[in-house]
Structure 1
Amino acid sequence: MSDGACTMKRLWRWRGNPLRRREDIMEAWIVLAVWAVVLAGGTLVGLLTAHAADEVFARQRAERHSVRAVVLADVPVSATKGGGTHALAGISWTASDGTTQTDKTLVDTGQKAGAEVVAWLDGRGDLATEPPSPTEAAIESGVLGTAAALGLAGTAFGAGALVRWRLDRRRIDQWGREWDLVGPRWGHKT
Structure 2
Amino acid sequence: MRAISGLWRWRRNPLRRGTDLAEAWVGLVALVLILVGGPVIGALTGGAAQDALQRTARAQLESRHLVTATVIRKLNRSPLDADPETSSGRDLRSRVVADWTAPDGTTHEGKVMADLQSPHAGDHFGMWTDLHGRTAARPLDSATATTHAVLAGTGAALLTAGVIEGARRFALWRMIRRRYARWDRAWDRAGPDWGRTGTGS
The answer to whether 1:157 aligns with 2:171 is no
The equivalent of 2:127 in structure 1 is: 119
Q: Which moved more, 1:8-17 or 1:80-89?
A: 8-17
Q: Which moved more, 1:169-178 or 1:52-61?
A: 52-61
Q: Which moved more, 1:48-57 or 1:142-151?
A: 48-57
The equivalent of 1:58 in structure 2 is: 54
Question: Distance between the aligned counterparts of 2:46 and 2:158, measured in 1?
Answer: 13
* 1:97 Cα deviation from its structure 2 partner: 2.1
| 5+ long unaligned stretches in structure 1 | 1-7
- For residues 33-182 of structure 1, the aligned pairs below 5 Å read 33-63=29-59, 64=61, 65-71=65-71, 73-76=73-76, 80-82=81-83, 83=86, 84-85=90-91, 86=93, 92-101=99-108, 106-108=113-115, 110-112=118-120, 114-121=122-129, 127-134=136-143, 136-182=144-190
Calculate the aligned-residue CA RMSD, in Å.
3.7
Amino acid of the residue matched to residue 94 of structure 1? T
1:76/1:110 contact within 8 Å kept: no
Percent of matched pairs sharing the same residue: 37
Name the CA shift for 1:72/1:149 in 2 (closer, same or farther; >3 Å).
farther
Amino acid of the residue matched to residue 62 of structure 1? R
> What TM-score comes out, normalization by structure 1 length?
0.70
Name the CA shift for 1:14/1:54 in 2 (closer, same or farther; >3 Å).
same
> What TM-score comes out, normalization by structure 2 length?
0.67
- Number of equivalenced pairs: 183
Q: Which moved more, 1:87-96 or 1:60-69?
A: 87-96
* 1:150 Cα deviation from its structure 2 partner: 0.9
Question: Distance between the aligned counterparts of 1:153 and 1:88, measured in 2?
Answer: 47
Question: Of 29, 36, 42, which residue of structure 1 is paired with 2:25?
Answer: 29
**Greater radius of gyration (CA):** 2
Deviations along 1:108-146, whole A, 9 cap, x unmatched? 454345543322356897613342353x44444333322
Local SS of the residue matching 1:96: coil
Name the CA shift for 1:143/1:181 in 2 (closer, same or farther; >3 Å).
same
* 1:14 Cα deviation from its structure 2 partner: 4.2
* 1:171 Cα deviation from its structure 2 partner: 1.1
2:71/2:97 contact within 8 Å kept: yes
Local SS of the residue matching 2:67: strand
Amino acid of the residue matched to residue 166 of structure 1? R
1:75/1:110 contact within 8 Å kept: no
Amino acid of the residue matched to residue 68 of structure 1? T
Amino acid of the residue matched to residue 53 of structure 1? A
